[in-house]
Amino acid sequence: MNPTVQIADKVIGDGHPVFISVEVGTTCNGDLDASLAMIDAAANAGADAIKFMIIGPEYFMSDRSVVYEYECASGQRRENMYEMFSGLTFTTKEWQSIARRCNEKGIIFGATVDYIPGVNLAVELGAQFLKLSSWDTANVPLIRKMAQAGLPLQIDTGPTTAGDIDKMLGWIRAEDMHDVVLVHCSHAKEASGINVKSVPYMKNVFACPVGYSADDRDHVPELAAVSLGANLIEKRLTLDRTHEGHHHIKALEPNEFTEWVKMVRRCEAMLGTNSIEPSAEDLRQKEMYFVSIVANADIAAGTTIRQNMLACKRPGTGIAPEMLPQIVGRSAKRDISENELIAWQDV
């Protein structure tokens, strides 16, 4: 795989800014007006991309009677899964409006696609990247179709093992596609299961950019992921967390999302480099708070300086304490007052 992946004018990989992607596949509610408002909010927040979901439940659900239970603001909710997914679809004309708004706002348009004809639709709409969901990482026909599209791929790793990922990347390489970003996304309910260290592990093993997709509103996992070298972070956005639909309770509202982006950028800026480099402020304070060699009493010119005539006190702008042995035994060339910094020309 390629060590960096370019999507539009953004480069994803080490040495480049963290790519921030907004997840609205379910929280857009399948509503055009809400989707356009989300695009505006994502762009205003400073995100790089917004990702929708081109979904075709009639293609991937054989049992349309499945009932899905999920959490929302009012508590647990039960809903027919096929009907829920069907409510998240758009007409081609609506998709065109969504793609056009992304272009107008200067934000990258991407899409998770979970059925083969949807790949062609994403390409026709001008999607700039495709995403494979966690639940399709063994769907060989879909994976090959997405790889053939020639667009960069983001892949949620979800329940996959290292062996599963290796096989999947083999199918993708066979279609001459090498622009892949692996995205660690854990659905663990407890902190120990999130395993953010998967991010550097996958980067090392598979030699490609690696990201982290947040499952809820908690900020700690993605900040940990950025600290461990994540090249991409994905977070859910909603216009109203009290909405009864799927994932709203796990998403950030626009003002929260704006602050979250600032937090990620601040965390990124704090990482620095793989070296020890005191900041300009540290160096400024070093001069004030380090100690230097000073006279511990008045020293007359011509006096042979003894150890008890010296002390180490602030500021740190004079001779360092480690040079005490080189001062002791020398003669004072001038009168030196108590607490006065001693300079080399004084002895």
Question: Yes or no: is domain 280-346 CATH 3.90.1210.10?
Answer: yes
Distance CA 104, CA 36 (A): 11
Amino acid identity, position 88: L
pLDDT digits (tens, 9 = 90+) for 214-248: 999 999 999 999 999 999 999 999 999 999 899 99
CATH (one of 3.30.1490.70, 1.10.10.1100, 2.60.40.10, 3.20.20.70) for 5-270: 3.20.20.70
pLDDT digits (tens, 9 = 90+) for 253-297: 999 999 999 999 999 999 998 899 999 999 999 999 999 999 999
At which residue do the structure tokens 């791929």 appear? Answer: 153
Strand locations in 9-126 (E): 10-12, 19-23, 49-54, 67-72, 75-80, 108-113
pLDDT at position 161 over 90: yes
pLDDT at residue 26 in the model: 97
Distance CA 19, CA 234 (A): 8
Every domain of the chain with CATH number 3.90.1210.10 lies at 280-346
Every domain of the chain with CATH number 3.20.20.70 lies at 5-270
Residue 304, SS3 per DSSP: strand
Angle between helices 162-173 and 140-148 (to 10 degrees): 50
Per-residue H/E/C for 98-128? HHHHHHHHCCEEEEEECCHHHHHHHHHHCCC
